[in-house]
Amino acid sequence: MDIPGLPARRAALNLIDAVLRRGETLDQAGGSALARIKGDADRALARAIAGEVLRWRADLDALIDSATRLPLADDAKARAVLQIMLAQVLRLETPAHAVIATGLPLLMGGPRRLAHGVFSTLTKRAVTLPEVPTLPEPVMERWGIRAETIAAGLAVPPPLDLALRDAAATAEWAERLGGISLMPGHVRLPRGIAVEHLDGFREGAWWVQDLAASLPARMLGAGEGRSVLDLCAAPGGKTMQLAAAGWKVTALDNAKRRLERLRENLERTALEAEVVLADAFTWEPQEKFDAILLDAPCTATGTSRRHPDVLHRIAPRQIEEMAEIQTRMLARAAEWLKPGGTLVYAVCSLEQEEGEDRAADVELTLAPITAAELPEGLSPTGEGWLRTDPGMLAEAGGLDGFFIARWVKG
């Protein structure tokens, strides 16, 4: 019989291994790694441990190496177990005795004795982690001069952002939920809240959506009954925004299960959209649209606050593959716009190849984003685009990394 809490630690090891060895996302790995864990609390603990290890891996390794006479191999199981043990003590404030009781049983023989010795040495030293996590070197190189500021925004998981169905009721909902608002239609709450128990969930008054993720749909303004295509729409946050803003929405995606979630969200919020299961590269609309929102497939490095696996999974090959898909989708979207129609392009990526480089190739008339359309503290670029990253609005809890651009078809 397993020691209480041991299955969660074993699952955390499996999650980390799936990310680092097989290149899976934490969500993908969770299907198998968490399957044998019965309680929601233990599943959440396994995910939290894995997330903190991936967020602070370089710094955890530096501590481990400071306490070993000979360096451990990068793929040594003792190193991996020490990472999850230290992450619990230093980030999750788990008592050392509980960490030892649930960590050492994952090892046998010499590695177990080694891990016990290293862990005891480091806890006696009362070691700490730096205030800002050390990013992997390839990530630092890609993100350039903003890398250290972005890293500061990754130190803790993000707060909970809600998008409101009725932006006019922002002050009311912020008061009812005990949150703050950074712009109309937005409420921010502390992380760790069970959303399904919050006031307003059952009646569909709001949905969970990071502040940055809500900005692309805002760039289209009020719909007034005009037609809009939401490309790559699932799970539906932007679709609901557009419907709430008065657009006649066609929501297209090629993921059946994610579209089912979109339909559930529409039903809960009593909002309407035509939902289409199709491949954007083969589908053809019956008529052109007044506006198109293309939230394109991307590497999702801008979501590293909540998905620290992207810090270790994404390499130039994936970025290049995504950039090719984005170029093709932008070309398709431009064909489906009416003359005078508006196209908004967005990616939750921090990579220039997926943002600025793609926007520079679009042969439509730029409709510059203005500061008046953005939360206080954010500004458009000199080109009239918008670039956000996790280091921005830090005093208010930060936001995800996005690139957004807008054009009008002549």
Residue 282 CA to residue 331 CA, distance in Å, equals 13
- H/E element, 101: helix 96-103
**Quick one: the chain helix, strand, coil %, rounded to 5?**
50, 15, 40
CB-CB neighbours of 251 under 10 Å:
27
Tokens found for residue 405: 């651009």
Query: Which pair of structure tokens corresponds to residue 346?
Result: 């967005």
Contact predicate 328/321, CB 8 Å: no
> Tokens representing 283?
């589908």
Number of alpha carbons in the 13 Å side-chain half-sphere of residue 75: 5
Burial (Cβ within 10 Å: 0-12, 13-18, ≥19) of residue 399: buried
- Rounded to whole angstroms, how far apart are CA atoms 387 and 318? 21
Tell me if 338 sits within 8 A of 409, measured CB to CB: yes
> Which segments of 123-211 are extended strands (E)?
160-164, 186-189, 206-208
The residue written with tokens 């990394």 in the block is: 401
Give the Cα separation of 293 and 214 in Å (integer). 12
- DSSP bridge partners of 402: 388
Catalytic residues: 348
Is residue 355 exposed (0-12), middle (13-18) or buried (19+ Cβ within 10 Å)? buried
How far, in Å, CA of 378 to CA of 370, rounded? 10
Cα separations in angstroms, 87 against 73, 90, 164, 364: 19, 5, 36, 49
Alpha-carbon dihedral 376, 236, 154, 103, rounded to 10 degrees: 150
Terminal Cα distance for the chain, rounded: 69
Backbone angles phi, psi at 341, to 5 degrees: -75, 160
